[in-house]
Structure 1
C-alpha cells in the first residue's frame, strides 16, 4: 500500500498538522506512565496524569474553544485496519512514536458501507500533532515499519468513546452508534464485528 506523509497536500482533506503548543512534557509523561501492550491496542479516554498537565488545559481552551475535553491515549502494536469510526467533532492525535494512520472520507460511506480500497495511509513522525476533521473516518494507528509499537495521546470532547447511550434505532446511522459520540463500521474479520459492531467494511482488511 502506498504510504504518504501527513505533510503531503493529499492529507489536507482529512485534517492538518497542529502547531503552537509545547507537547514535550505530555509526551514524556505518556512514555513513562501509559500502558503499552506488545500485541493489540489499549485505549483510555481520559488519563489523570495527562489531564493534570498545563497543556491539557491550554488545549481545552484553545483547540476546543473552551469545550470540556478529555485527554487519554491509544497505545500498542497494531498492523490492521479492522474498523473505521467518526465523531461529531475533530480529534487531535499527538504521536510519541512514528505511526501510520489509515483514513477515508466520511462522504464515501454509503448506507454504512465502504470499500476499503477508499482507505489511504499516511505516516506521522514522532512528536507530531495531527487533527482529524469530523468528516474523516479513522481508527487505531498502525505501527510504523521497523518499530515495535506506539504511544499516541488522544484529545476529544469529554465523554467521547465512553458508555453508549440507550437509543431506539430510527435510521441507518443509528445502527452504527457503538459508544458515546462514536459511530463505527467494522470489517467482518475484526474482533469488533464478532462483538456485534455493524459490519460495513468490505474488501481487504488492510495490513501495514
Structure 2
C-alpha cells in the first residue's frame, strides 16, 4: 500500500497540519507521551484522559485552542498495530500528535454506501498517511479513522484529543430511535464504528461493514 505524507495535497480533504502552533505547546505533549505512555508489545492501549497530559501546564491553553472553550480531554493511544480492523468517526474533529512517527488509515464518510445497519465501505478506498513525530494534526469529523499504525518496530505513542466524554460508555438510546440514522453504528459515546469481519470488534457485536481486505501495512513499513 502506498503511504502518503500529510504534507501531500491529497491529505487536505482528510485533515490539516497545525504547523504554526509554537513548540512550547507541542513539545511537552510529545515528551509526556514518550515518558509516560505505556506501549504494549502486542496490540494497542487507549486512555481517553491521561493524567500525564491533563496535568501539563500548557493543557488548558492547548484545549482552548483546539476546541474553543468546549470541555475537552487529552488522552493517548499507544502500542503496535499494522491492521485496519475498523473505521470510526465522531461528531467533532480529533487532534493527534505522536512521540514518534505513526501512520493513519483514512477514508471519508461520503464514501460509505447505505446508512446505519446497511452501511458498507470498500477497503480499497482507504488511504494511508504518515505523520512525523511532534507534528500536530487535525482529523476532520467526516474522516473515518481508527487506531494508528506503527511506522517502525518501536510502535507508536499518539495524542488523542477530543471533546470531553468521547469514547465513554455507550449511551442508552430511546428504543424508538435505536434503528434511526446511524444509531446502529454507535459503539460508545460519540463513537460510530464500522468493523471488518476479521476484527475483534466484529466478534464483540460491532456492525460489520468494511468490505474487502483487512488492510495490513506490515510489508509497506518493513
Asked if Structure 1 and Structure 2 have the same fold, meaning a TM-score greater than 0.5 normalized by the shorter chain, the answer is yes
Higher relative helix content: 2
8 Å CA contact 2:185, 2:193 repeated in 1: yes
* CA RMSD after TM alignment: 1.0
Give SS of 2:29's match.
helix
Q: Secondary structure of 1:63's partner? A: helix
**Superposition deviation, residue 172 in structure 1:** 4.4
Residue 125 of structure 1 corresponds to which residue in structure 2? 132
Residue aligned with 2:58, SS: helix
Match of 1:147 in 2: 153
Given the alignment, which residue of 163, 167, 185 partners 2:169? 163
Q: TM-score, with normalisation over the residues of structure 1?
A: 0.97
- Map residues 30-179 of structure 1 onto 2, 5 A cutoff: 30-111=33-114, 112-144=119-151, 146-167=152-173, 168=175, 169-179=178-188
Q: Match for residue 180 of structure 1?
A: 189
Further displaced range: 165-174 or 77-86:
165-174
**CA–CA distance in 1 between the matches of 2:171 and 2:113?**
24
Partner residue, 1:196: 205
Could you list the runs of 5+ residues in structure 2 that have no partner in the other structure?
218-222
What is the distance in 2 between the residues matched to 1:70 and 1:36?
20
- 2:26 aligned partner: 23
TM-score (norm 2): 0.91
CA distance in 1, matches of 2:47, 2:41: 16
State the Cα distance separating 1:177 from its structure 2 match: 0.1
Question: By how many angstroms is 1:193 displaced?
Answer: 0.3
Q: Distance in 2 between the 1:27 and 1:5 partners?
A: 20
Instruction: Kindly provide the CA deviation profile for residues 31-75 of structure 1, in whole angstroms up to 9, marking residues without a partner as x.
Output: 111111011000000011210113221122111100000000000
Q: CA deviation at 1:148?
A: 2.4
